[in-house]
Amino acid sequence: MPTALTGFKGALQTIVAATATLCLSTTICLAGNGRLPGNISPLHYDLTVIPNVEAGTFAGEVHIDIDVATQTPTVVLNSESLTLDRVTIDGDPAASVTQDKDSQTATLGAAAPLAPGHHTVDIAYRGVIEKTARGLFQLTYTGVDAQGGANGGSKAGAAAPARMLVTQFEAGDARRFLPCWDEPSAKATFTLSVMAPAGQTAVSNMPVKADEAKADGRHLVHFQPTPRMSSYLLFLGVGDVERVTAQAGDVEIGVVVRRGSVDKARFALETATAILARYNDYFGTPYPLPKLDFIAAPGAGGFGAMENWGAIMAFEKDLLLDPALADEAARQRVFQVVAHEMAHQWFGDLVTMAWWDDLWLNEGFASWMEAKAMAALHPDWSPWLVAMPAMEGAKRQDARASTHPVVQPINSVAEADEAFDEITYDKGQAVIRMVEATVGETVFRDGVRRYMKRNAYGNATTRDLWKAVEEAGAKDVLRIATDFVTKPGIPLVTVNATCGAPGGAPKAKAKGRKGAAPATAHAAGGGTEVSLRQARFATEPVTIPDQYHLSDRLWAIPVPLATVGGGTTHALLTALTGKATVPGCGPLLANAGQTGYFRVAYGEPAFKALVDHVDQLAAIDQLGLLYDSAALGEAGQMAMSDSLALIRALRPDADPTVWQQVADYLVDVDAYYESRSQGQDQGGGQTAFRAYARGVLAPVLAHIGWDPQPGQGDKVGLARTALIRALGTVDAPETLTEAERRLAADTTDPTALPPGIRLPVITVVAQHADTATFARLHALASATTDALARRQLYVALGAVRDPALAQRVLDMTLTPEVETTTAPSIIRAVADSNPDLAWRFITAHVDAVEGTLDQMQRYEFFADIARKSSDPARAADLAAYAEAHVPASGRQGIAKASGEIAFRAKVVQDRLPQVDAWLAAQPAAR
């Protein structure tokens, strides 16, 4: 085992030449699907790392204890972008060292075949400090000078920009930091040491064990050994940071921030402290590490946070709050990030998926758990309403031909990177919510506790979770859950109702839920008889191979049913059709409570009856009805105007979260019109739509007001923000005038405007800015030294509609004026108003733009910009870009974007004319 770098320098100067390998090819060395052979398991890594930030490199030495299951002449492990300088096996120099770039492996030949049992591998190596978020990477940011001021601010004495080193290893980038078995199932313990510069602090998964001062001012930091865990959860951070802490039982919770930002960490710290006790109880297994740190990394990336065990890394925008600048949305976002990543400490870290096909076990569960935590600690936020847009995004993606099952085959690290999408996170969340609603909260929680205890410090599969829930008392849960995680697509349940059925509420019990009845059950007494029919809801043609049996195209669907003013029942639809009876004769609502993952289609009279009684529906059902009618309208299975009629029926005092999401939806519809008009409003359609949108939204903003009132709560603040943005988008003159008036009060102090309206006001003014106003806002952004405020202001500039000014914003993204990690967000903002301009810019500067992207963004960013278009030619442009720049294994996002472009074009061509006709028939005012 290497100790304090004895002989380290000499070892690193010895490069072992690659000689003949004992594997004839990579495919012989590796198991199927690009995975390592299963004959060797790592037990423990003892690792020492010496970074050289100025050179952009690091040196490492690792001692690995391994267990060999069957005799082997070679040791095959993962290694990417590393130079292996010295390799020994059981103390003897390796007979051969062969590295394969394509498979990201190193094959180490032993002097003699290794017998089953314990062995050791020692490797001295060198690596690269990356500039984007993969492996060990550096972040450059504005530091704090000796007098306490921000570099570049008004105080004197500013030094050079500061740097922080952090790591990001998911899905397969631990191999860029050390040679290792970089697969989820290859769990081991880690002992990490790092040579840190003088005055800088090192952070890892575990507390510091010892800190040795060196003669040159550096210090060698040794951390305590980790629990048994997967390689992608290892973490190292080094920088000029401060740490604020709180105690939660036996666990010390800390937030690590760049120097001078401690005050912005308070909300995250308080949130984490409150959540830990809740999670300890829910999972039935206390958090097992002595500390839990949140590391706030400067800048931004293609992801918000990473659940490293005991050392969660999040970018500042998702973890820190400036009390003078933070609005309700920022507080909610920080809460969600903290709750999500903390859930991973159990689902993902303590129990890890066996392979990346089951990634949803990590992400879907953590997404669901963040809503559960919000329900417990902030019920006034209406967490399931908050979660609805994300689940709606999953439903829309699931209707495309490019969708995939929740549990999907993953054959490579590139494919694993692409699996972090709406289906994995948000459909996964929706399926878990549906299962819990079906089996009951207590049964589901008990199943989760069984799963945790049975698989702690190990790996598990989707079936292991459902088996544990079944054992807790949820009979036949596998039937429902397996259908929704193994079959791609989303069901469409068509309902027809007849009042005056000869039966009452069914009393028979369906397996799995108290009070539920099979969809074929009849009842005795009065009520509404319901006919149900299921099909796959698709917005583009989906080919189902002929060899598939009909049952492979169907789901076992739990369908909650209710009548307005009447009763409820639960049906389990397992066949193509079914029947159920619901107490009462009011309008029928399917998917009552919106716990089911499916679309609902009503006949025209039934839908109109729900619109007429919309004020009697729960807020979550109002929103579910809106989302289903909008999706079916865009797909041509309803009139697209039906969703607009539903919105017009809502009262101004409806739940603020409903209005928040209505405002966002109307902005999306306006984008369809914008893409059709290309600057010229054909037939006045967009003018009429914007008048309609102003007519429904302006009274709501007038009802809640521009300024917070006592007792309104955070939900009203979020709605206010969305309403101001939406009314600005549809050119409401009163909104524009008021925004300009409020911004004119003080354009030099970023805290002058109230936090709740500051960003929407600036964005609306920027959106409509002329040259003089743009110059004023640009000066405000460039003079702002606070990192969070500066990022917000530059992204707001991207909203400008004027193409010439938008081009100036795009040009800024490739200059030192804009931080590299902020540039992608600015380009996305420009694409919202000027999608063609943004596309031409990124394709004209491919290399420069890709230099601003981290691994999680690289293959998705260009696709995300392209999908803003409704021009079919853009799909061809995207395909040409992919052919030149994206490997075949990384084109899932390209396929999704191409489908979205085609769908948007169809909506513009086929659906907007119908909306035009509806709008023309409506009264001018609400």
Tokens 């999608």, located at residue: 835
44 is in an annotated binding site: no
Q: DSSP class of residue 695?
A: H
DSSP per residue over 276-324, as a string?
HHHHHHHHSS---SSEEEEEEESS--SSSEE--TTEEEEEGGGT---TT
Side-chain-facing half-sphere of 291: CA atoms under 13 Å: 23
Residue 544, exposed/middle/buried by CB under 10 A (0-12, 13-18, 19+)? exposed
The answer to the question of whether 404 is labelled as a binding residue is no
Instruction: Give, in order, the Cα–Cα distances in Å from 133 to each of 313, 823, 854, 857, 879.
Output: 11, 15, 5, 10, 26
Type of residue found at 421: D
Angle at 102 between CA 100 and CA 108, to 5 degrees: 20
Q: Quick check: 195 and 212 in contact, CB under 8 A?
A: no
Burial class of residue 355, CB neighbours in 10 A (0-12, 13-18, 19+): middle
Catalytic one among 328, 341, 370, 634? 341
Tokens of 733: 């003159």
Burial readout 109-121 (b: 16 or more C-beta within 10 A, e: otherwise): bbeeebeeeebbb
CB atoms within 10 A of CB 231: 25
- The dihedral sign for the CA sequence 783, 789, 793, 795: positive
Cα separation, 128 vs 134, whole angstroms: 11
Which pair of structure tokens corresponds to residue 222?
A: 């040794």
Tell me if residue 119 falls in helix, strand or coil.
strand
Beta-carbon count within 10 A of 612 CB? 12
Between CA 754 and CA 761 the distance in angstroms is 10
Closest to 588 in 3D by CA, of 548, 541, 529, 539: 529
- 54: annotated binding-site residue? no
3-state secondary structure of 846: helix
Please confirm, yes or no, whether 341 is among the known catalytic residues. yes
* 61 known member of a binding site: no
Three-class SS of residue 140? strand
What phi and psi values does residue 228 have, to the nearest 5 degrees?
-70, 120
* Residue 170 annotated as binding site: yes
Single-letter code of the amino acid located at 915: V
DSSP states along 43-81: EEEEEEEEEETTTTEEEEEEEEEEEESS-EEEEEEE-SS
The CA-atom distances, in angstroms, between 433 and each of 281, 355, 428 are: 19, 23, 9
Residue 307 annotated as binding?
A: yes
Helix 835-844 and helix 803-812: axis angle, to 10°? 40
- In total, the chain counts a number of residues equal to 926
> For the residues of 501-538, what is the DSSP string, one character each?
ES--S--PPPTTSTTEEETT---SSSEEEEEEEEEEE-
**222: annotated binding-site residue?**
no
Q: Residue 690: name the closest of 345, 899, 342, 924 by CA.
A: 924
The catalytic residues are: 341
Annotated binding site for Zn(2+): 340, 344, 363
Annotated binding site: 170, 304-308, 340, 344, 363, 858
Annotated binding site for substrate: 170, 304-308, 858
